[in-house]
Amino acid sequence: MLTSPAALNLLFASTKEDPQRWRRLLEPALPQDRLFAWPDVNGGDIDVALVATHPQGTFAQLPRLKLIQSLWMGVENILADTEVPRGVPLARLIDPGMVHAMAETVIASVLDWHRQRHVYRAQQRARLWKWQTQLLPSDRTVGLLGLGELGSYAAARLLALGFKVCGWSRRPRTIDGVHCSTDLDEILSQSQAVVCLLPLTAQTRGVLNARALARMPRGGCIINVARGAHLVMPDLIAALDSGQLAHAYLDVFETEPLPADSPLWAHPGITVTPHIAALTEPRTAVPKIVENIERVRRGEVPLNLVDFSAGY
Ligand code: NAP
């Protein structure tokens, strides 16, 4: 005899993501389940929490959770919540649309620096008609800090454009065409452009400091699309002002939104974007979330689980 699959209670809990936008895609994909939106926690009877910057106190009210599914790729603010039940699996979202968007942002920034468009923008403001030296992509090495989902995909796209690519990871990695190393100094010393795609952990906080920036060849650029706390801002400013760095592309900041009176907005060596390097794309994310919910329904281990001890 066929039995109908168990219905699950899902909770959407986010201070940043719009529940209606997700509801339109999640409900047709999970017709047997019930989707609640914080603060309606169905009396605590919730099986799966879908979270991105969740409201404080969310987890204290969810004693029967089987899965915490992040709606974002970075999970440091979930891990920082001491109420997160350590026995409940926490899954990251690996959203193909977001991975692609991040590669586009990395390429846009690398090309802006490589084609010296940041220099030509300054020349335009000064009404200066002057050619800069043109280099080939193969004259440049781009170093990726982090060779995970985002870093490894961006690496492939940069290789396709003709750049030399190297990258740093915690454990040894092999990626076709990419010089991979677990030695940060080795990667920094050969990278004219450094792209930060690390998770924020105790080990990676402040990794881009004066010492690290000094290891890079003079005149390079930093592209920080991971988290603001990876980069020590006074050290970056000093490196830009001394000419050690030519430019910095900053998408993420320790305080977001970046305060209107921050000197970073007007620094000639900095391009600021408002944490948009890669936004979650519900159309490509929902199938991945549904896959994990179906795994919970079948009693299987969900995909993309966070290693609590590693912090990502
Ligand atoms: P991931 O798949 O977990 O990959 C992380 C990479 O960093 C791995 O290669 C890992 O090494 C490496 N790593 C971690 N700790 C390290 C350490 N101590 N030393 C050296 N390497 C270390 O992460 P992802 O999905 O690529 O995402 C990376 C981060 O991007 C997220 O955590 C998030 O903060 C950020 N992000 C930003 C935006 C935005 O819009 N700005 C959007 C999405 C994500 P192993 O390979 O050895 O594990």
**105-152, pLDDT tens digit by residue?**
999 999 999 999 999 999 999 999 999 999 999 999 999 999 999 999
Instruction: Tell me the catalytic residues.
Output: 227, 275
The answer, yes or no, to whether residue 251 has pLDDT greater than 80, is: yes
235 forms beta bridges with none
* pLDDT tens digits, one per residue of 221-238: 999 999 999 999 999 999
105 forms beta bridges with none
Homologous superfamily of 96-272? NAD(P)-binding Rossmann-like Domain (3.40.50.720)
The answer, yes or no, to whether residue 5 has pLDDT greater than 70, is: no
Per this entry, what is the length of the chain?
A: 312
Task: Determine the residue of 17, 99, 169, 272 to mutate for testing ligand 1's pocket, defined as the one with the most ligand atoms within 8 A of the Cβ atom.
Answer: 169
- Tell me how far apart the alpha carbons of residues 169 and 252 are, in angstroms, rounded to a whole number: 21
Residues of the chain above pLDDT 90, percent? 98
* pLDDT tens digits, one per residue of 12-58: 999 999 999 999 999 999 999 999 999 999 999 999 999 999 999 99
Span from the CA of 312 to the centroid of ligand 1 (angstroms):
7
- Tell me how far apart the alpha carbons of residues 29 and 37 are, in angstroms, rounded to a whole number: 17
With a Cβ cut-off of 6 Å, ligand 1 is lined by 73-74, 98, 102, 146-151, 168-171, 173, 197-201, 203-204, 225-227, 251-252, 275, 277-278, 312
What does the pLDDT read at residue 2? Answer: 47
82 forms beta bridges with none
* DSSP assignment of 242-290: HTSEEEEEE---SSSSPPTT-GGGG-TTEEE--S-SS---HHHHHHHHH
- What residue spans in the chain does CATH classification 3.40.50.720 cover? 9-95+280-298, 96-272
Token pair belonging to 264? 């970073």
Q: Which of 262, 256, 257, 260 is nearest to 237 (CA)?
A: 262
* pLDDT tens digits, one per residue of 66-111: 999 999 999 999 999 999 999 999 999 999 999 999 999 999 999 9
Q: Confidence class of residue 1 from pLDDT cuts 50, 70 and 90?
A: very low
Q: Which of 265, 209, 202 is nearest to 236 (CA)?
A: 209
Span from the CA of 153 to the centroid of ligand 1 (angstroms):
12
Q: Whose CA is nearest to atom 34 of ligand 1?
A: 74
Domain topology for 9-95+280-298: Rossmann fold (3.40.50)
Residues of the chain above pLDDT 70, percent? 98
Span from the CA of 248 to the centroid of ligand 1 (angstroms):
19
Mean pLDDT of 205-224: 98
Please, what is the Cα angle at 97 between 94 and 103, to 5 degrees?
A: 95
**Contact present, 138 and 164 (Cβ < 8 Å):** yes
